[in-house]
Amino acid sequence: MKKRKRCFTVMIIPHSEEATYSLRFPLRAGQLVVVAMIIGLSMLMVMFCSYRHILEEAQEAQNLREESRRQHDKMNVCALETQQLLAQIEQVEHLTEKVADRIGAPAVNESISEPNPRFYASRSGRGVLDRAAGNINLLQQMIPEQADSLGHLNDQVEEYTRRLAATPSIWPTWGRITSGFGNRRSPFNRYATHFHQGVDIAASYGTPICATADGTVSTAAYLSGWGNLIIITHGYGYQTYYAHLSGFTVSSGERVTRGQVIGYMGRTGRSTGVHLHYEVHVNGVAVNPLSYMR
């Protein structure tokens, strides 16, 4: 007996009173259609998932590009800032040299006086990182050297300040100069001449006498000829003498500062009138005090 084919029927029934339509399909064809639909839906799901994954990767790549751009900008800012620091250090070097020159000190930037390569920031590729790294390396080298130079300069400035404070530079008192430095006729014998090792400044009795530089009083006593005499040792080879005083306000061994009153004008010792005899000695040799009176 011949096996009857299995099939299914699709009936189309219109809303009108027209006749119905019937479509008869083999069961295998229906199965194939169902399988095809399942395969199609599966492919659509796979394509949807793949598309979603691609979108996520694209977004992640975009985020990485944005982060890379931000890092690039930060590195560029870093390179620019390090370049500005290098320029500022160079200005400090020049200022250090000017200060050293003003105080007569030897150059303190010899170790870094040679021009260093300056790495300028660029917005292209790895150039920013390389330049920033180069500038940082220069800073790491230059900052300690500059700190050493500034420390050395500070020592020199302090030494210069001490020397300046020890150098006679003011008038010891107010008045008029009655006798200068050098050969002169003796005030006690008009037929004789002698070398006058200081200057005589005349004013009224009791006029204050001031130290002309910082130092230590090495003598404050009455000495024949000098009368009441103060000798101040300032250091760096400087000594000053103040003679014919009427009295002292300091004693031997006392530390004094420039402008401090140390005594009063008088006419003690071998003197023809009220005045101050003032001498400046450099390394034991009397020099013209006018060179140190400003």
Round to whole Å and give the CA distance between 274 and 189. Answer: 19
Beta bridge partners of 266: 275
Asked whether residue 231 carries a pLDDT value surpassing 90, the answer given is yes
Task: Express each pLDDT in 112-121 by its tens digit.
Answer: 444 455 444 4
Q: Which residues form the domain of 230?
A: 176-292
Mark whether 190 and 57 lie in a shared domain. no
Residue whose token pair is 């004094």:
256
Is 14 within the bounds of a domain?
no
Mark whether 32 and 157 lie in a shared domain. yes
What does the pLDDT read at residue 204? 97
Task: Take residue 214 and report the two structure tokens written for it.
Answer: 């910082």
β-strands 238-248, 261-265 pairing? antiparallel
Mark whether 156 and 201 lie in a shared domain. no
The secondary structure of residue 240, as a DSSP letter, is: E
Is 236 within the bounds of a domain?
yes
Query: Which of 89-101 are b and which e, b meaning 16 or more Cβ less than 10 Å from the residue's Cβ?
Result: bbeebeebbebbe
Is 39 within the bounds of a domain?
yes
Beta bridge partners of 277: 200, 243
The secondary structure of residue 20, as a DSSP letter, is: P
124 within 8 A of 72, measured Cβ to Cβ: no
- The DSSP-derived string for 96-113 is HHHHHHHTTPPPS-GGG-
Per-residue pLDDT band for 126 (boundaries 50, 70, 90) equals: low
Asked whether residue 125 carries a pLDDT value surpassing 70, the answer given is no
Question: Residue 81 in 3-state DSSP?
Answer: helix
Round to whole Å and give the CA distance between 287 and 198. Answer: 8
What does the pLDDT read at residue 180? 93
Over range 22-37, report the average pLDDT: 78
